[in-house]
Amino acid sequence: GAVVSQHPSWVICKSGTSVKIECRSLDFQATTMFWYRQFPKQSLMLMATSNEGSKATYEQGVEKDKFLINHASLTLSTLTVTSAHPEDSSFYICSAGGRLAVGETQYFGPGTRLLVL
Amino acid sequence: QKEVEQNSGPLSVPEGAIASLNCTYSDRVSQSFFWYRQYSGKSPELIMSIYSNGDKEDGRFTAQLNKASQYVSLLIRDSQPSDSATYLCAVMTFMDSNYQLIWGAGTKLIIKP
């Protein structure tokens, strides 16, 4: 299957700082990347969908000015959590898909754990 | 609102038995269906996909699709403790001029030794 990497896998930061998370598709071109957040013992929550070269589409309730997404190439998307606060502590997971069509699906990165002190 | 429903569980199954996980979806025209497994603290991994009515087998896993009744299920034969995880059902649907995956909330499966 397709391989998606994320970096870093763990990050601990002070409240008020910004954190950047990278998501890369290693062996395929991802026209679409998705960013999810998962709190302990809860379901995956889609935060935003990004298409290469265009602005991300955010889900209702997700602040686009706080969670900045850049999808500059077909293999790289970044999520920047700006001015992070303790309530932003969560497991952030990206997934990547080719041109979503019948038969294709999303492949997940290993996730990034963010702890804001 | 297009939805995918799963029983949250936990579903407890003895080791060696068959675990049966079910999922229903609301969009009649959905064409692609996926099962993901998520271990605690890890990201989801794709384990099965199914596109046609009937059964699809892969090792100990069998996916079953019934488009008329709008349900998809996953059977795990000879369940092992390592199968204990949350199983997510995902359905591909066409929405807002795009294909999108709609996710169920997941069923927690516990295999008891």
**DSSP secondary structure code for residue B44 in this structure:** -
Are the beta carbons of B89 and B30 closer than 8 angstroms?
A: no
CA distance A36 to chain B (A): 10
Query: How confident is residue A51, by pLDDT bands cut at 50, 70 and 90?
Result: confident
| Whole-number percent of chain B with pLDDT over 70 | 96
* pLDDT at residue A100, rounded to an integer: 46
Interface probe, candidates A108, A112, A114, A115, chain B, greatest B C-beta count within 10 A: A108
Residue B28 to residues A59, A111, B4, B66, B67: CA-CA distances in angstroms?
Answer: 24, 32, 12, 11, 7
Name the residue in chain B with its Cα closest to that of A33. Answer: B100
Mean of pLDDT values over B73-79: 98
Q: In angstroms, rounded to a whole number, what is the distance separating the alpha carbons of residues A100 and A49?
A: 12
Mean pLDDT, chain B, integer: 92
pLDDT attached to residue A72: 81
The answer on pLDDT for A101 being more than 60 is no
Q: Do B43 and A106 touch (CB under 8 A)?
A: no
pLDDT attached to residue B107: 96
For residue A98, what pLDDT band results from cuts at 50, 70 and 90? low
pLDDT tens string B28-69: 888 889 999 999 999 999 999 999 999 999 999 999 999 999
- Would you call A105 and B32 a contact, using CB atoms and an 8 Å cutoff? yes
Mean pLDDT of the region A63-68: 94
Q: What pLDDT does residue B110 have?
A: 98
Q: What is the mean pLDDT of residues B66-92?
A: 96
The alpha-helical segments, DSSP class H, found in A27-109 are none
Return the pLDDT at A39: 92
Provide the pLDDT for residue A1: 63
Separation of CA B92 from chain center: 13
Segment A66-80 mean pLDDT: 92
- With a pLDDT cut of 90, the percent of chain A lying above it is 61
CA A75 to chain CA centroid, Å, is: 13
Mean pLDDT value across residues A42-53: 87
pLDDT band at B97 (very low <50, low <70, confident <90, very high): low
Helix intervals (H) in B43-97: none
CA B24 to chain centroid, in Å, comes to: 10
Gyration radius from chain A CA atoms: 13
